[in-house]
Amino acid sequence: MDKDLTEVRRLINLYIEGAGKGNADMLNEAFHSSAHWFGTVGGVDYALDKKSFVDLMVSQPGDAGALVAEIVDVQMDGSAATATVKETGFWGTLAFTDFFQLAMLDGRWQITSKTFATTNG
């Protein structure tokens, strides 16, 4: 279980760094090919597939110099896991709570979805 927890945390950190820097390679490594993102920002609902999310992060990286992100919880049971991340300073001013779902698929851990809540703005 320790190596699984280490891998899940590594994937979440790939998301944090990849979204912050707009690094498509990191995001593509972390997320399953069929992954989806859901949430609302400023009254606009988002339901993005992997390509749309990666394209958005590459064109508008989240770290404008103030991004702080922390993994605050990881829960695992067999081949499934959830992780919660708190982010502040995303795109300079936004704060989010991110809920990630992960699964062991094709012999490796992968993020299968992200649902987020905007916690300010």
* Residue 121 pLDDT exceeds 80: no
What does pLDDT average to over the chain? 96
**Ramachandran quadrant class, 42 (left: phi over 0; alpha: psi -120 to 50; beta: rest):** left
Asked if 94 and 118 count as a contact pair (C-beta separation under 8 A), the reply is yes
User: 120: pLDDT confidence band, cut at 50, 70 and 90?
Assistant: confident
* Residue 64 pLDDT exceeds 70: yes
- The domain limits of the chain are 2-118
Query: Pick from 56, 47, 57: which is nearest to 16 by CA?
Result: 57
Model confidence, pTM: 0.95
Render pLDDT for 3-35 as a digit per residue (tens, 0 to 9). Answer: 999 999 999 999 999 999 999 999 999 999 999
> Could you tell me how many residues make up the chain?
121
Classify 2-118 by CATH class. Answer: alpha beta
